[in-house]
Amino acid sequence: MAVAEAAPELLSPAEIDRAFRDPFSPSKRTKATSWIVLLAVLTAFPLVFTNPAVTSIGVFTMFFLLAVVGWNIFSGYSGYISIGHAVYYGFGQYTVALLIMHLGITSGVSELAIVPLAGLAGAAVAVPVGLLVLRVRRHTFIVLTIAVMFIFQLLAFNFPSITGGSTGLNVTPPPWSGNDYNLPFYYIALGTAAIGLLTSWAVRRSKFGLGLLAIRDDEDRAKGLGIKVTRAKLIALVLSAFFVGIAGGLYAIFIGQVFPQFAFTPFYDLYLAVFAFVGGLGTLSGPVFGALLLGPLQQYFELQFGATTLYLIIYGVLFVVILLALPRGIVPSLADRYRTFLASRWRRAEERRGVEGSGVTAGSMIASAPGAAPAERGGS
Amino acid sequence: MLVLQGIVDGILAGALYALMGSGLTLVFGVMEVINFAQGIIVVLGAYFTYTFASHLGVDPFVTLLLTIPIMFTLGYAVYMLLLRPIKRDRVIMSLLVMYATAVVIEGVLDLIFGGTLVEVTASYGTSSVHLGSLDFPNVYLLAFGLSAVLLAALYWILYHTKFGRSLRATTQNLTAAKLVGINVDHVSALTLGIGVGLGAAGGMLFGMTTPFNAASSYDLISRLLVIVILGGFGSVWGAGVAAIVMLVIEDVVAVVWSPVWGQTIFYLVLALVLMFRPQGLFGRRLARAQ
Amino acid sequence: MKSRQLIGRLWATGPRRRGAVLATAAAVAAMAAPALGAGTAAAHVVRRDALHGVVTIGASVSLSGDFSATGKTTEQGYQAFQTWANEHGGILGHKVVFKFLSDGSSPTQVTTDYQKLITVTHVNFLVGPYSTLLTKPASEVANRYHMALVEGIGGGPSVFEAGLHNVFDVSASAVYQGISFAKWVAKVYKPQPVAYAAITTPFNEPIVTGIKNYLDSKGFTTAVYKVYPLETADFTPIASAIAATHAKIVAIGSQPPDGEGLIKDFVSSGYNPTVLFEVSGPDQGTGFVKAVGKQNTTGVMWPNTWYPGANEGVVNTEMEKILEKEIHVKSVSLLSANMAEAFSAAQTLREAVDHIKSLTNAKLIAYMHSSKAKFTSVQGPVCFKSTGQNACATPFVFQWQHSKQLQVLPSTAAGSSKVMNPKPKWGQSKY
């Protein structure tokens, strides 16, 4: 009998996977198909809705999407909520502006070609910043990231010989006509966001990603288990800063100017956190939905209701309702509800069929308690 | 001499910030809520004073008799309606809910007052007391006095009333407080009420020292957060000391060097202190498990 | 709690209800799309010179966020122009209609707003938003559609450094605004230390650097130069530092409320400069008097392109009347210069369009750049450099004298009064 008891240990990882797979979560194929459909829809969007006013909202939404996906790699997985990612955003903006100015780049294509350098600049500055801010946790971390962001904003004001100070820097935008202008930015941001999402997915599946999740759940225990916590957090921060830096670089070229108060802006930080939270923090798809939903909504509200000053009230109320009704974010909350629904239907079907033996599997056990949020929120 | 004047300026302004920040730190101590709306609460208090003072023609200080009860009720209601339902990720969820609340209040204020900068004026507003070559502007002296009185009252409530005992118990250990039969929700709601009321009182003084509109709240909240975290989240004393230390540093640097650097150093000091004392100057070590 | 359960139940009641919710969402999205102007490629290639009985002018204004106060006055200036123009035959005999969008003081939203104004609202002409920070991205968008952007409140150097051909600023540009004052100081005073301070905005700081560069070239020195951030809450340290230099001449690149705040601090510390120049604060009319006290206003100078009750002819009087009526101000002196700046932009645009007798932006741009194009606005004469600055602008300097706002510089300009020099000590002038 002792042999039989030891048997579960001999199961292959694939078998364990099968045994514990949540029977009501979509299959891998469904998930992959959904991602491909989403990508196709986003790719087709500016070709269907060609109006520049619409694609302009699309461009900013893609910029946000790219940054939120990046932000989530660090804050979502490690649980360290950064309200200071504008540091990397601003660094990306100034890098691009200064390079274009000092290298005298004028053609639109070569301007966009240097955007990856903005990402590298963001990643580079994340190393010293990370070594500083990652010494503290939780709310102290949140406020410290805000403070560091303000330090960078003030430094941009304080060194006018480099940054132009309050006069800012001019970036000559690509000389394209109005109807074509938005598309390159849209597709580059979308492509980079897709790369960001793949990175996020790879991180989530790796041992390194598991380490981050362990840090989120209990950092001291993770440390005790031998995870090099500081290194893991720092690597995640650098990865995430890369994508936010690229968003900054693209933004600077798109808008055509860099000012300290718009490069290092607390609002940007708040938006990233809000988008990720509303969508579902630390999940792969949550931030995507958050950005795709709230990004355009906000601009649309300002456009439609801004002139009546009602827009802030509408936006705020809607936001409160979402937070209170879907406290874990749209994706995890709705996934939970859907699972509850499927499970109850399955149970009813079982009951109708009559109890055919008590074949309780691990899967059905999870299914019968679907409300109990699975520990790995990264699942959806 | 110039440095001395900088120190005086810093202490006087610091007392005002201590008052505005005390509500923020108190609320955090009891329920781990970062009240992101504290900035707009201060502005709301200032608008109340402005409205009452200009329509009823009374002295700004008298308007507090109306403003504080109204704001207290508002705080109590916000807790019961918006914060009590939050069950998980409390720190960040409550931050976001309070941010959303701030956005709504900002929208309402914009709708009513339309963004024009306004100022609460009083006849004694432009003069100051001279002591040697130092001057003490009247408005700031009054602000200092009111801050001292209100903070003393807060101290009395915390240490000499039954409610204060429940509140401190909740701050120290939420679960234990629940176990000994403290109605934690009631205590929390009262605390938010008090925090918001203090913010409103600070708002009256803020309105007397600086012209404001709804958008002023953003500068306020970033500054208040820095002060509160430096003092140690949850420590009212800490907030007071931190406010004065920070404004003295900022004002002295502004006087002898440059105002832009004054503010840079304000944030640099915070970053440095937190690296070596993550719990802030007077904060408790984080004993409560995550 | 209850609402949460309710919403929870709504989602859990089964596929039919959920289907209805999704259908509603889809319907809302479908309705939203045309509102946003989602259309085919052909739809937004319009003939902008097509007339639909009215001439439309588009502007993005900041109705929320940091610039909400000044954004509102900008909108009021444009609205006053709409009323005025329609009382005077519109543009080319057509009714004038303004289309406003709000930008929440954000360059992101400004970019979308102007694209919407151009490609969805199909406005005939564009006028500027509030501030240099937002004018730059707005002008880039307009440039992509070869449309002119006529503006009155975006005079920071960054707007003109981009080398755009389509932006026209009808007000005096920042670097130029302090120049009459600097010339006067150099003429009247011997070289000596001057105290400067400026707020870090792309408009205010360049005014002070403009003055400083001119005075430096004439042998003046800098006693102190304090640059302070927008978020400054307490002005006493800046005032103390300036007072400690005992400089006789002080030039401050302030904006409200710091202009008033600094004077209050000077008064209470008993520091009496003989020349005090503030970019903004003294221009706030009654607001300024209330803040610093009547007895302390005399002698304070500020640059401006306009002031309430300015002797700029019939149109100005008419504009002031309209503004008074439309925004219910108690007195003309409460009107803000932003309103006149916005009004001037639209007024200049109207003159140019009436002259070319066409709604084509290309013709408009060509005409406004031509050397013979000269305009008259409520702020005075307007003509454009190739970069878009107003080359004909007179950088007036005003001074409070006995509770009145008087134009004092340039002394050769029509309507100038004598400069009161030195400034009387605080509280010691008759008002």
- Transcribe A159-215 into DSSP letters: -HHHH-GGG-EE-PPP---HHHHHHHHHHHHHHHHHHHHHHHHHHHHSHHHHHHHHH
CB neighbour class for A72 (10 Å; exposed up to 12, middle 13-18, buried from 19): buried
Q: Looking at the structure, tell me whether residues C164 and C180 fall in a common domain.
A: no
The residue in chain C having the minimum alpha-carbon distance to the alpha carbon of residue B82 is C1
* Residue B16: CA count within 13 A, CB half-sphere: 25
| Three-class secondary structure of residue C96 per DSSP | strand
Task: List pLDDT tens digits, range B154-204.
Answer: 888 888 888 888 888 887 777 888 888 888 888 888 889 999 999 989 999
Asked if pLDDT for residue B125 goes beyond 80, the answer is no
Distance from CA of B227 to the nearest CA of A (A): 10
Q: Does C233 touch chain A (CB under 8 A)?
A: no
Average pLDDT, chain A: 83
* Residue A76: CA count within 13 A, CB half-sphere: 39
Asked if pLDDT for residue C29 goes beyond 60, the answer is no
Asked if pLDDT for residue A204 goes beyond 60, the answer is yes
Q: What is the DSSP letter of C52?
A: S
Q: Looking at the structure, tell me whether residues C163 and C226 fall in a common domain.
A: no
Distance from CA of C280 to the nearest CA of B (A): 14
Band of the pLDDT at B260, cuts 50, 70, 90? confident
Q: Does C43 touch chain A (CB under 8 A)?
A: yes
Q: pLDDT > 90: what percent of chain B?
A: 14
Distance from C-alpha of B259 to C-alpha of C237, rounded to nearest angstrom? 8
Query: For residue A254, what are its two tokens?
Result: 């798109």
Taking the CA atoms of residue A36, residue A40, residue A42 and residue A47 in that order, the dihedral angle to the nearest 10 degrees is: 170
Distance from C-alpha of C399 to C-alpha of C412, rounded to nearest angstrom? 16
Q: Where are the domains of chain B?
A: 2-120+137-276
- Supply the DSSP string of A63-86, one letter for each residue: HHHHHHHHHIIIIIHH----S-TH
Distance from CA of A325 to the nearest CA of C (A): 5
Distance from CA of C39 to the nearest CA of A (A): 6
Structure-token match 């000092």, residue found:
A102
- Residue C87 lies inside a defined structural domain of this protein: yes
Chains with 3 or more CB pairs closer than 8 angstroms to C? A, B
| Three-class secondary structure of residue C192 per DSSP | coil
Contact A312, B104 (CB under 8 A): yes
Asked if pLDDT for residue A354 goes beyond 80, the answer is no
The predicted pLDDT at position A10 comes to 59
Query: For residue A316, what are its two tokens?
Result: 């705020």
Task: List pLDDT tens digits, range C74-126.
Answer: 999 999 999 999 999 899 989 999 999 988 888 888 999 999 999 988 999 99
Q: Which residues in chain A have Cβ-Cβ distances shorter than 8 Å to B226? A: 143, 146-147
Beta bridge partner(s), residue B128: B137
Short-list A139, A137, A320, CA closest to B28: A139
Among A78, A151, A333, A336, the strongest candidate for a mutation testing the B interface, having the largest count of B CBs within 10 A, is A151
- Residue C423 lies inside a defined structural domain of this protein: no
Band of the pLDDT at A236, cuts 50, 70, 90? very high
Distance from C-alpha of C240 to C-alpha of B191, rounded to nearest angstrom? 40
Residue A233's φ and ψ, nearest 5 degrees, are -65, -40
Q: Looking at the structure, tell me whether residues C235 and C378 fall in a common domain.
A: no
The residue in chain C having the minimum alpha-carbon distance to the alpha carbon of residue A176 is C144
Please enumerate residues of A whose Cβ is less than 8 A from a Cβ of B.
Answer: 81, 132, 135-140, 142-144, 146-148, 150-151, 154-155, 157-158, 218-219, 266, 270, 273-274, 277, 281, 309-317, 319-320, 323-324, 327-328
Task: List pLDDT tens digits, range A326-347.
Answer: 878 888 888 888 888 888 888 8
Q: Looking at the structure, tell me whether residues C166 and C196 fall in a common domain.
A: no
Mean pLDDT of A345-353: 83
Dmax over CA atoms of chain C, in Å, equals 87
The predicted pLDDT at position C430 comes to 60
Nearest Cβ partner for A316 among B85, B107, B260:
B107
Beta bridge partner(s), residue C251: C196, C277
Q: Which structural domain, as residue segments, surrounds residue C285?
A: 176-304+395-409
- Residue C146 sits in a domain whose CATH number is 3.40.50.2300
Cross-chain residue pair C145–A57, CB shorter than 8 Å: no
Residues 284-323 of C with CB under 8 A from B: 290-293, 296
Nearest Cβ partner for B222 among A136, A266, A310:
A266
Residue A344's contacts (CB-CB under 8 Å, 6 or more residues apart) are none
User: In which element (H, E) is residue C343 found?
Assistant: helix C337-356
Band of the pLDDT at A239, cuts 50, 70, 90? very high
Q: Does A337 touch chain C (CB under 8 A)?
A: yes
Nearest Cβ partner for B275 among A135, A266, A324:
A135
Q: Looking at the structure, tell me whether residues C211 and C223 fall in a common domain.
A: yes
Short-list B67, B115, B112, CA closest to B212: B115
Q: Which residues in chain B have Cβ-Cβ distances shorter than 8 Å to A146? A: 222, 225-226
Residues 194-233 of C with CB under 8 A from B: 200, 226-233
The predicted pLDDT at position A251 comes to 95
Residues in chain A: 380
What ipTM describes this predicted complex? 0.79
- Chain-centroid distance of CA C361 in Å reads 23
The residue in chain C having the minimum alpha-carbon distance to the alpha carbon of residue A337 is C12
The predicted pLDDT at position A363 comes to 46
Chains with 3 or more CB pairs closer than 8 angstroms to A? B, C
The predicted pLDDT at position A60 comes to 94
Q: Looking at the structure, tell me whether residues C210 and C299 fall in a common domain.
A: yes
User: What separation in angstroms does the CA of A109 have from each of A64, A105, A114, A244?
Assistant: 22, 10, 9, 21
The predicted pLDDT at position C24 comes to 43
Cross-chain residue pair B137–C236, CB shorter than 8 Å: yes
* Residue B52: CA count within 13 A, CB half-sphere: 20
Task: List pLDDT tens digits, range C185-243.
Answer: 999 999 999 999 998 888 888 899 999 999 999 999 999 999 888 777 778 888 888 98
Contact A206, A76 (CB under 8 A): no
The residue in chain A having the minimum alpha-carbon distance to the alpha carbon of residue C140 is A256
Contact A289, A330 (CB under 8 A): yes
Mean pLDDT of C366-379: 90
User: In which element (H, E) is residue B24 found?
Assistant: helix B2-31
Q: What is the DSSP letter of B161?
A: S
Q: Looking at the structure, tell me whether residues C64 and C165 fall in a common domain.
A: yes
Cross-chain residue pair C232–B110, CB shorter than 8 Å: no
Cross-chain residue pair C40–A157, CB shorter than 8 Å: no
Q: Chains B and C: how many Cβ contacts under 8 Å?
A: 118
Q: Looking at the structure, tell me whether residues C82 and C150 fall in a common domain.
A: yes
Query: For residue C88, what are its two tokens?
Result: 């005077």
CATH 1.10.3470 fits B2-120+137-276, yes or no: yes
Q: Which residues in chain A have Cβ-Cβ distances shorter than 8 Å to C36? A: 51, 53-54, 57, 300, 303
The predicted pLDDT at position C429 comes to 66
Band of the pLDDT at C15, cuts 50, 70, 90? very low
Contact B280, B229 (CB under 8 A): yes
Q: pLDDT > 70: what percent of chain B?
A: 94
Asked if pLDDT for residue C163 goes beyond 80, the answer is yes
| Three-class secondary structure of residue A12 per DSSP | coil
- CA dihedral sign, ordered C77, C82, C87, C92: positive
Q: Which residues in chain C have Cβ-Cβ distances shorter than 8 Å to B13? A: 233-234, 236
Q: Looking at the structure, tell me whether residues C95 and C202 fall in a common domain.
A: no
Asked if pLDDT for residue C69 goes beyond 90, the answer is no
Q: Looking at the structure, tell me whether residues C288 and C334 fall in a common domain.
A: no
- Residue C265 lies inside a defined structural domain of this protein: yes
| C292 or C391, higher pLDDT | C391
Distance from C-alpha of C280 to C-alpha of C268, rounded to nearest angstrom? 20
Q: Looking at the structure, tell me whether residues C143 and C271 fall in a common domain.
A: no
Q: Chains A and C: how many Cβ contacts under 8 Å?
A: 151
Asked if pLDDT for residue A315 goes beyond 60, the answer is yes
Residue B133's contacts (CB-CB under 8 Å, 6 or more residues apart) are B1, B5
Domains contained in chain C, number:
2
Residues 251-270 of B with CB under 8 A from A: 258, 260-261, 263-264, 267-268, 270
Highest mean pLDDT among A357-371, B13-27, C113-127: C113-127
Short-list C203, C184, C136, C166, CA closest to C337: C203
Contact C311, C398 (CB under 8 A): no
Distance from CA of A177 to the nearest CA of C (A): 5
Nearest Cβ partner for C36 among A53, A154, A307:
A53
Query: For residue A368, what are its two tokens?
Result: 């019968």
Distance from CA of B182 to the nearest CA of C (A): 21
Q: How many CB atoms lie within 10 A of CB A3?
A: 7
- Supply the DSSP string of C238-283, one letter for each residue: HHHHHHHHT-SEEEEE--TTHHHHHHHHHHHHT---SEEEESSSGG
| Three-class secondary structure of residue C285 per DSSP | coil
- Residue C111 lies inside a defined structural domain of this protein: yes
Cross-chain residue pair B271–A311, CB shorter than 8 Å: no
Distance from CA of B20 to the nearest CA of A (A): 17
Short-list A193, B81, B131, CA closest to C4: B81
Cross-chain residue pair C133–A177, CB shorter than 8 Å: no
Q: Looking at the structure, tell me whether residues C187 and C254 fall in a common domain.
A: yes
